[in-house]
Amino acid sequence: MSRETMTRTERVDAAIRLEKPDRVPVVPLLSAEAAGTLSGATMAQVSNDSQILFNSILKVFDDYGGWDAMHGGVWRPIHVQATGTHPMKIRIPGVDLPDDYVFQLVEEPIMQLEDYDKICQMGFDNFYYDDYLWRISSLTQDSLSDALEDVMIWGMKFLPEMAKRDVGMWVAATGMHPFFHLSLMRSLITFTEDLYYRPEIVEKTLKRMTADLIPKQIAMAKALGHNRWLLTEERASAYTYPLSVFERFWWPYTQEIVEAFWSEGIVTVFHIDTPWDKNLPYFKRLPKGSYVVSLDSTTDIFAAKQLLRGHGAIYGDVSASLLTIGSPADVEAYVKRLIDEVGDDGGFILGQGCNLPSNIKPENFRAMLDTCKTYEFSKK
């Protein structure tokens, strides 16, 4: 049995600082879908009723003995569309889909070529709320206001409940990388054509979006009194594009973003899906301790540790497949390996790959949490 000598917050902060805490912190990303499965609610219920989702998250936290920081919150499909987190058409359980389906994102080239100039002239937020949102949703001005108000109301209810449980938030402010935003809005194929045939307008737009993102997200993090923010990117790795594209259209803006946040004492937590093995060496160019890379189990996390050891923290990476079709013994063995090989000298936070899956086995989730909380570091 591991002996705990730190608070949850101290443990997480130590890992972010690349120090070795009393044990590896565990911070699962609990989405609405996994919360519904683990609490006994349907996908339709957690997708359409904030009270049910709120209750489900708290029930899962309490029933499974808690963890070291809360990753996720009362976010329903309409919320992520209204806030621009998922700038796409969405099919929602209980509305467009059967009650037991997971919500679906519909990728289409909704953003048109002329919209690049609109973003450059108006700024992304003005473009999104004056024009783009109405192309992808059935929201009206009134229902948009209600959705945004709902986000605030339930966020304010959520934070005191976390305080009662002595657990803080993993991140406060969240945003998508401008590259990823454009890829979703233009669709992968069309955006790729733009990168090759219209690179100048893409670069101009990325510059404007980056300039807008930095002060907005820094202000949000400061307003919430938090020193970590989440930056999501799922399409810029060498799995999708050659490094020449990455170097021109992703890396310069990323470096600008991270350095701006770090100058304000804010750590960037990257949520990066797909294999990033060829891209991770670039992260050594960022300031030491300024970032966390959250890997989705398709990147070799053990090689990533060797590369980034002592420079950047790593989060991950119990896979969805292991949590759904594996056994508790399989989960336990993999978590122990992660602790021994990735968490051996600190700088590691245990989590799942990408997101807890909607069809997660409860016994596997418990094995993931309990193993991390009780397994001691190997003696070296």
How confident is the prediction along the chain (380 residues), in pLDDT tens digits per residue? 457 999 999 999 999 999 999 999 999 999 999 999 999 999 999 999 999 999 999 999 999 999 999 999 999 999 999 999 999 999 999 999 999 999 999 999 999 999 999 999 999 999 999 999 999 999 999 999 999 999 999 999 999 999 999 999 999 889 999 999 999 999 999 999 999 999 999 999 999 999 999 999 999 999 988 999 999 999 999 999 999 999 999 999 999 999 999 999 999 999 999 999 999 999 999 999 999 999 999 999 999 999 999 999 999 999 999 999 999 999 999 999 999 999 999 999 999 999 999 999 999 999 999 999 999 877 55
Alpha-carbon gap, residue 49 to 74, rounded angstroms = 10
In CATH, 8-374 is 3.40.50.300 = no
Q: How many other CB atoms sit within 10 Å of the CB of residue 225?
A: 7
Alpha-carbon gap, residue 56 to 317, rounded angstroms = 24
Can you read off the two tokens belonging to residue 86?
């998922």
Annotated domain spans of the chain: 8-374
Beta bridge partners of 230: 174, 269
| In contact, 3 and 326? CB cutoff 8 Å | no
* First CA to last CA distance, the chain: 18
Mention every residue, 6+ apart, whose C-beta is less than 8 A from residue 297: 316, 317, 318, 319, 320, 353, 354
Beta bridge partners of 89: 106
Give this prediction's pTM: 0.96
Q: How far is CA 340 from the centre of its chain?
A: 25
Alpha-carbon gap, residue 189 to 187, rounded angstroms = 6
Q: How many residues does the chain have?
A: 380
